Amino acid sequence: MDAARTPVFRRLGPVAWRGVLALFIAGPIAWAMLYALAYSLGGVGRLSSGWTTEHWRNAFVAPGIMGAFAYSVVIALIVTTLVVLITLGMLLSFPSIRHNRAFLLMVIVLMGTPSLVLAQMVGNTLGQGGWLSRLSYHAGLIETAGDFPALVNDRLHVGMTISLSLSLLPLVLLYFSQLWGALRLDRCCDLAQSLGASRLDARLRVALPMLIWRGKSMMMLLFILTIGSYEVPLLLGRQSPQMFSVATQRLASGFDLSRKPQAYVLAILYLVCTSLALMLYIRGKSADA
Amino acid sequence: MHEHVPPSRVLHCARTRSWSRLAGGVALAIFAVPYLLLLWLSLGSGWSYPNLGPDRVDFRPWQAFASEGNSLLRGALTAGLLSPCVATFATLVGLLVGRQVQTHRGVWMYVAYLPFACSPVIIGLCLLDLFIRLGLASSLAGVFLIQSVFASAFAVILFSELWSPEIGRLERVVQTLGGSQWQMWRHAVWPRLWKLMLVCWLQTLLFSWLDYGLVSTIGGGIVPSLTLGVIAYVREASMNQAAQAAIVLIVPPVLVMLLIGGVMQGRVPEGRIDA
Amino acid sequence: MLPNRHVTFVARFALCLSVCALLLAGCDSPKAETVDLSTTNWQQISEAASGTTVRMAMWDGDPAINAFMRDYVRRRMQAEHGVTVEFIGGLGNSLVDRLMVELDAGRTVGDIDLMWINGETFFQLRQINALFGPFTTTLPNNKYIDWQDPFIALDFQKSVDGYECPWGNVQLALIYHSGRVSDPPQNRTELAAWVKAHPGRFTIDNSFTGMTFLKGLLYDLAGGPGAWDGDFDEARYRRESAKLWEYWRSIKPYLWREGQTYPESVAQLHQLMMNGEVDFSMSNNDGEVDNKAVQGILPDESRGYAWETGTIRNSHYLGIPVNAPNKAAAMVLANFLISPDAQLQKAKPEVWGDGSILDMDKLPAEYRKQFSQIPGRTRVASRESLGERALTEPAPEIMVRLEADFRKYMIEGN
């Protein structure tokens, strides 16, 4: 029989653990979804005048809302791609970095640094009035802070992308490092080389496809984590378009109370989008297993 | 095994190692700059352009932090009380439910992942009404409960992903040999599980300590929080106070991560973290 | 079967945690008011407040204001009235949002007793019937308030009707770096010429102060002082605001970062000025230029002024939520905050530099003298002089619409 049928846990019973999951974990999320749906349809709310699809119709023509949807997806894709590329680039170029103490220390410290503080540090360092700008001033490269390129709250999202990537990088680095060992890629590359492949060929044609194939569910997880990020886009992002969470919070607590239901339209869009991505992630994981 | 290595290759390896150390040192130094800047800024007042550090090193942010009734200090103390409770509760839920989820994947796995994948700010916003109705909004109990939902989901995932089938086999061996429940737990489960439990406890502790989205919506500013302080100071451009708050915020997580690193280092077989 | 110790242990632990959680909830949960304020006199209100805790929601982004509230207000309230004061962060929209959900959920006993509010928040709170009142006439220090002043008696064109108590009176002042700007613009035409001659050196913040600046422009475009008196007129707003956006589009390419993005708060705007990225900042509090320069947040060379076409003058207020758990103590605190002593302390530039709402003619001579001798206002003209260029706040709908339209046309329409 399977491991779950041991006496220690038998008493919990199938009802108990399912109950915990359903009531304690799924319950609040389901409530959140239903509440958001009811609010967005005018069924709830102090200023609501009854059930209506008006807020949904307005949401689809309001640039801020559909912009937030498209923008969040694009940023999540960019960050996911960037983080995976950096990780794979590092591992394929320097596989032994996995055992480097300085590297491990950096990964661990970065992992312990919350994204909120990362955003603050990126702002302090890369902002137009930040430390690099001040160094450039002292080095005679610029004359005023305004001469330093805008890297925070900027059009190209440089500061935000760096900050989001840094917050996810340790997780991905550790995952792929672990995968490298688990797949015995060192041996595979050695074998390929002993059969005549060059070192580059061995890494690009043997190690890389295996890492990508086995790491695809992790990429989906990165996408999910990025799309819901709040603190970094709040501090370093542009004012328009905005990420899902920032736009939702802004609409929910803006001057114009009549736009509050639109915040819940955005919340529903986010929850549906995340749920679908999660399904793909779990399906991918099951396939890997 | 003891193959002959030519001296030129030894020399090459030694050079590579020293270059690698140098590169590591340089990378570490660059990496440390933002952290050191944060510390430096926290020691003083003002940061006029183009000064590289604070205008005056007067320790004012730290004096304010230590003063009576400081909201950041209250935030740190509250988080210090709350996060161990959340972590303990979540670890227990994870321990009891995670194993079941491992054997009954499918929809239950999806349920467990849901909070993990959702933005706390959005969920907090949608749940505020419910928490107000339950009389739990703006209270420590409410924040404990909502953080526990998210932390427990994380713990369930962790235990379901990393549970080793070997533990089940050992349990059956102890049982077959006439061992009691306690002996089975003590000799079969605990030695195999304590590291995973510790890692789960520390991770969920960190989740609670660093939470912003849930404490800001459900806590409503009434439950003091360090993260709320950092965001408020950054948005109000109080650089020194923001830096000081950030230092208080990150020291425990960095220490915890180093501790986790120490616990896991050298004891984990490659490709498997089955504790 | 042997009892399962582990499950038992877990069950006990869970029970302990639940009890702890309930205790915590019990400790946190505010108790309902026991005094009927409609039939009690001030003496009874003071007695009911004594020994209790009052929770005030306020903007907590300024260390100087925080220090005033913590070191002066809290200590005096404890010493003189036996009331413990707690402060929590929160202002404007966040308070409205919170109270709205609380009232939706039928929560009759909330968490906040007194809150610092401004005009548009007052409007929103009245919209959702979230304010307790009228209560101002009950406060003994109400007799000193200058209710004849329209900048105090009317909040965004709405009579306060005793539902909020004025606390401070301020006027928007533009702040410029006198070392870099010798001849600051005095109206929109001069501003347009200045920004075109100095690209990237001017911007506004994307929040309350920036919108208040835009309201000043809207006044100018609509014909000057008095142009926006009365209730909101949709057609008029559309007409005049179209001119405003046209004007803003004409100067937008010459703003900081080409007007593609704006500082999120006035504090960030101050920082830009301090960093030398822009030459102008602004403040909704005319006394702030001295206060911030003393603190080193603005350059020493900063100077404040009002445009010849005028800037908005308004008051900030104290409101009591309809579900405040301790209204008696909230009233005692409000009464203290409008006392001559607290107003005098608050008006000192090194403390806060906030304008008083008291009528000097009604004050005892000793206070009048002290108010007249407040030192330190060196970087901005006197309040009386600024008052000659004061514009009243237009109807609150204008603020709501301006905020939405600024985002729609100037930020999202980039």
DSSP string over C281-301: EEESSTTHHHHHHHHTSS-TT
C-beta neighbour count of C134 within 10 angstroms: 13
Mean pLDDT along residues B99-118 = 81
Per-residue CA distances from A223 to A81, A162, A234, B271 (Å): 9, 15, 18, 24
List the structure tokens of C155: 């909040």
- 8 Å CB contact between B263 and A119: no
Contact C299, C308 (CB under 8 A): no
Give the pLDDT mean for B94-104. Answer: 80
Task: Sort out which chain B residues have CB atoms less than 8 A from C6's CB and list them.
Answer: 181, 185
CA-based radius of gyration for chain B: 24
Structure tokens at A41: 């349809």
Predicted TM-score of the model (pTM): 0.84
Q: What angle do CA C226, C317, C324 make, to 5 degrees?
A: 140
Q: B122, A248: Cβ pair inside 8 Å?
A: yes
A138 touches chain C (CB under 8 A): no
User: Which chains contact A through at least 3 pairs of Cβ atoms less than 8 Å apart?
Assistant: B, C
Choose among B47, B49, B66, B71: nearest CA to B57: B47
From B138, B139, B232, residue closest to C61, measured CB to CB = B232
Q: What's the gap in Å between the CA of B146 and the closest CA on chain C?
A: 12
Summarize pLDDT for A181-215 with one digit per residue, the tens: 888 898 999 999 999 889 899 999 999 999 998 88
Q: What is the pLDDT of residues B197-241, one digit of tens each?
A: 888 998 899 899 999 999 999 998 889 889 988 888 888 788 898
**Contact call for B136 and C25, based on CB within 8 A:** yes
Residue B12 has what pLDDT? 63
User: Could you report the per-residue pLDDT of A11-70, keeping only the tens digit for each?
Assistant: 556 677 788 888 888 899 999 999 999 999 999 887 788 899 999 998 888 777 888 889
CB pairs under 8 A between A and C: 86
* CB-CB contact of C338 with C358 (8 Å): yes
CB C346 within 8 A of CB C288: no
DSSP codes of every residue in B214-269: HHHHTSTTTS--HHHHHHHHHHTT-HHHHHHHHHHHHHHHHHHHHHHHHHHTTTS-
pLDDT, position C27? 46
State how far residue C274 is from chain B, nearest Cα, in angstroms.
6
* Residues C338, C342, C344, C347, CA torsion sign: negative
Helices (H), ranges, C338-395: 340-347, 365-372, 383-387
Residue C5 has pLDDT above 60, yes or no: no
Please indicate if any CB of chain A lies within 8 Å of the CB of C414: yes
A85 pLDDT band, cuts 50/70/90, is: very high
Most C-contacting residue of A10, A153, A239 (CB-CB within 10 A), to test interface: A239
CA dist C234 and C398 (Å) reads 9
Q: Any idea what the Cα angle at residue B82 is, between residues B79 and B83, rounded to 5°? A: 80
Q: pLDDT value at position A289?
A: 62
What is the Cα Rg of chain C in Å?
A: 24
| Distance in angstroms (rounded) separating the CA atoms of residues A1 and B163 | 16
Q: How far is C105 from chain B (nearest CA, A)?
A: 6
Residue C282's contacts (CB-CB under 8 Å, 6 or more residues apart) are C172, C173, C174, C175, C204, C205, C209, C210, C213, C266, C269
Mean pLDDT, rounded, for C153-167: 91
pLDDT at position B275 is: 27
Q: What is the pLDDT of residues B48-80, one digit of tens each?
A: 899 999 999 999 899 988 876 677 888 999 999
- pLDDT for position C95: 82
Q: What's the number of CA atoms in the CB half-sphere (13 Å) around residue B138?
A: 25
- C326, C52 contact by CB (below 8 A): yes
**Which residues of chain A does C257 touch, with a Cβ-Cβ cutoff of 8 Å?**
150
Q: How far is B40 from chain A (nearest CA, A)?
A: 12
Identify each DSSP E strand in C143-259 by its residue range. 154-155, 158-159, 164-171, 173-177
The neighbour count for residue C25, using CB atoms within 10 Å, is: 18
- Between chains, do B92 and C10 touch, taking CB under 8 Å as contact? yes
Give C 40-99 residues with CB within 8 A of chain A: 92-94, 96-97
For residue C270, pLDDT beyond 50: yes
State pLDDT tens for residues C392-410.
999 989 998 999 999 989 9
Touching check for C1 and chain B: CB below 8 Å? no
The pLDDT of residue C32? 55
One-letter amino acid at B124 equals: G
Query: Cβ B236–C74 below 8 Å, yes or no?
Result: no
